[in-house]
Structure formats: structure tokens, C-alpha cells
Structure 1
């Protein structure tokens, strides 16, 4: 058997590496070995570990859509706690995932002031966002950890997944923002940012939200 250290692996931007039959203790050791200051993101579900290296396009959309959510929350005067790409994991469920962005909104008061998350006592994030392809491993991890709402943005289109009876169902509306046409807004203003730039797109989005409310 050949044993390789993870630092010997070179994963190109936009690519993923799948490792099978990984125990929970091995997953924990890999998290430690890779450290917190890394570009790669991990997802773990029932013995399968996925390591993804985001592309520049992925990072641009991640930041932009995260900023859009913050702007909408601000305009609606909804409080939140943003936990970015925090590692959410729970040993008893054999699952772990690192969202592109995530927010505590309904449960923001429970997470106020916290700098660490322990899912044995803390709730999962109310809203998580994934850019590009959301893999089977990631989706299973989100379902297992019971994240109520997951946005998946791919090919210039937003898909809203809502947890129902433990499984995700595609929804035309966001339970977090039921009064807004979120799918249309996100798609429109991401496209606007490509032609006019990030800041003008966010200003236009703010104006549109103010009109809608």
C-alpha cells in the first residue's frame, strides 16, 4: 500500500478529489493537517470525503451572492450572524461540510457572540449557499446535518432547496424571504455584475429591494 500525505496532492482549481472509506478519526486528522488557512473546502458523509479546490469564478460568485444576502437582510431589517465557510460537523451523524456562505437568521440570537460551533448543542445554519456543482457528498452532508435551506447556484441559475421530512425539495420561493422573487433577483443581479461591475449591481439591487418592500 502506498501512503501519501495530503500536501503531496495537487488539486487544480475547480476540481474535486473523492476519498472513500475514510473514518471519522481520519477526517478529523485531515482537517488538522490541512489547517484553517487553506483554499480547499471539504465535505464528509458516511465515509466519503470530498476535497474541492475552488476556481476564481467560484470565489467571485460566492462573495457576490453572500453580499446580496447581507444587503437583502439589511433592507428587510432582519438580524443575522454570518459564519462564512465554517466547518460544520457532527460525529454522531458522520457528516461534515463547509458551505461557501452560511447565515444564522431565525437562530441568530442563539449564535450571537459565538466564535466556535458545536452541532451537538448549536443549531445548524438556517441558510447555506453553494456555488457551482453541489455533489452527492455535499448534499447528503447538508441533509444529515439538517440545514433547513440550501441555495445552489450553477450555470447562472439559482436553485432553492428546502428540507422537508429530512430530504431536500426544490422550491420556487425562499422560506427565509417568502415575499421576494429571490431566484429572479439573484440571477438578474449576478448577470448585471458581469456587465456593470459588483458595486453598481449591489446598488441596483438595493434600489430594487426598496421598491419591492
Structure 2
């Protein structure tokens, strides 16, 4: 008996692992799941993981994404935000959905595109993963050659840079040189929790305008 995807329920904060999933099955599953969904996927050589984040995970994702957008906009750096779009490469049998992602140096290559195919498109310059309720799939991002990965945990922000195919932890972001990005993200995410998002974002805008 074949199960249909809508018969399977994954509760928030939990994961489901499926094995021996072909690329065509992956494509079918993604199509059936649709664009407007809470679940995230990662896929590698036949293994498919489906994860449903907790609400606090989604909140942190939005906050950090907004901080990045404010920074890029005030610094007048051109960018294309791609959110949780599926990054996939059939040739490498890899797919992953970051919590949010940005094209910065390569933004011109993806203007007007709604979907990304890493067989032909460059990977995003920056991907962000929130590790409050799920663990980051470093291997997916390494194989797909995403140059910079941010991982946010309960301890705060970590930056990883791709060097010779492996991620190396860094204190700095090449996309935001000479900016104390770890301290800024940690401080203003905390401000969001204490004084509310709106006031924290106003404070962040003011800091960027006054200091950069």
C-alpha cells in the first residue's frame, strides 16, 4: 500500500527521515508539498529529511533576515533575498532549504528568477540556518558550495566560511567586512525579546546610520 504525503504528519520540532528516495520522487514530493508550507527539507544521495520548525525558530529566522536586509539597504548594497527557496543540484544529488538566503555578489545573476537550479545558477552568497529546534546540514551546503553560512543557536550567531570545500568557523563576514556582525545580531535579537521587534529594529537602523 502506498502512502500519500498528506497522510503523514510531522509535528513542530520533529523530523522524519526517508531513505531510497530517487531524484524524481524528491521532485514529486516537493511539488506535492507546495511552496506555502511550514516544513523544510534536506536531501542527500537518496536520504530525505523533512523537518517542521517550532514557532520560536520561525521568529528568529525573520528577525535575522530583517537585520541583514536593513544592513544591505542602508549600505546601499544590491541584493536579492531568496528566503527558504529549495537549493538543489541533481548532478550532485543534493537539495536543502535554508531558513533564509541572500544573493549579494551574485545578485545580478538571479534577478527575475523564482526558482534556483544550482546546475546552472550560482549558490546564494549567504545562507542562514536557525538551530534552535533542528540541526544544520553542513554537508549539504558544502557540496552545494554556499560560500558563507550563518548558524544561529541558543548561544548566539556563528559564521562559517567555505575554504577548500569545508566550512571554517570565522569571527567575521566577508559580505559585511569591518562590521562586528556577530555582536550586532546577538544584541538586536536579544533586544527584540526584551523591548519588542519594532523598537529593536529602529535602534538597529539608527546604529547602522550612525556608525557605518
TM-score by length of 1: 0.94
Once the two structures are overlaid, the 10-residue window that deviates more, 23-32 or 79-88, is 23-32
State the secondary structure of the residue aligned to 1:207.
helix
Structure 1 partner of 2:7: 8
Q: Does 1:110 align with 2:112?
A: no
- Superposition RMSD on alpha carbons, in Å? 1.4
State the secondary structure of the residue aligned to 1:60.
helix
Structure 1 partner of 2:26: 27
Compute the displacement of 1:14 (Å).
1.4
State the secondary structure of the residue aligned to 2:88.
strand
What is the number of residues matched between the two proteins? 211
Matches within 5 A, 1:198-209: 198-209=197-208
Structure 1 partner of 2:45: 46
Instruction: Give the conservation status (yes or no) of the 8 Å contact 1:180–1:212.
Output: no
Structure 2 partner of 1:182: 181
Q: Deviations over 1:29-56 (max 9, x none)?
A: 2112212222111111122111110111
Instruction: Give the conservation status (yes or no) of the 8 Å contact 1:156–1:191.
Output: no
d(CA) in 1 for partners of 2:40 and 2:190?
Answer: 26
Matches within 5 A, 1:160-179: 160-179=159-178
d(CA) in 1 for partners of 2:155 and 2:207?
Answer: 20
d(CA) in 2 for partners of 1:79 and 1:202?
Answer: 20
Structure 2 partner of 1:119: 118
Compute the displacement of 1:181 (Å).
0.6
Q: Does 1:135 align with 2:135?
A: yes
Once the two structures are overlaid, the 10-residue window that deviates more, 31-40 or 64-73, is 31-40
State the secondary structure of the residue aligned to 2:210.
helix
Q: Deviations over 1:19-38 (max 9, x none)?
A: 22222222112112212222
Structure 2 partner of 1:55: 54
d(CA) in 2 for partners of 1:156 and 1:6?
Answer: 35
State the secondary structure of the residue aligned to 2:91.
helix
Once the two structures are overlaid, the 10-residue window that deviates more, 100-109 or 29-38, is 29-38
Structure 2 partner of 1:98: 97
d(CA) in 2 for partners of 1:156 and 1:203?
Answer: 24
Consecutive unaligned residues of structure 2, counting only runs of 5 or more, are none
Runs of 4+ in 1 over 4 A off after TM superposition: none
Q: Deviations over 1:71-122 (max 9, x none)?
A: 0111211110011111111100100011111000001111122223222221
Structure 2 partner of 1:64: 63
Compute the displacement of 1:12 (Å).
1.2
d(CA) in 1 for partners of 2:163 and 2:187?
Answer: 28
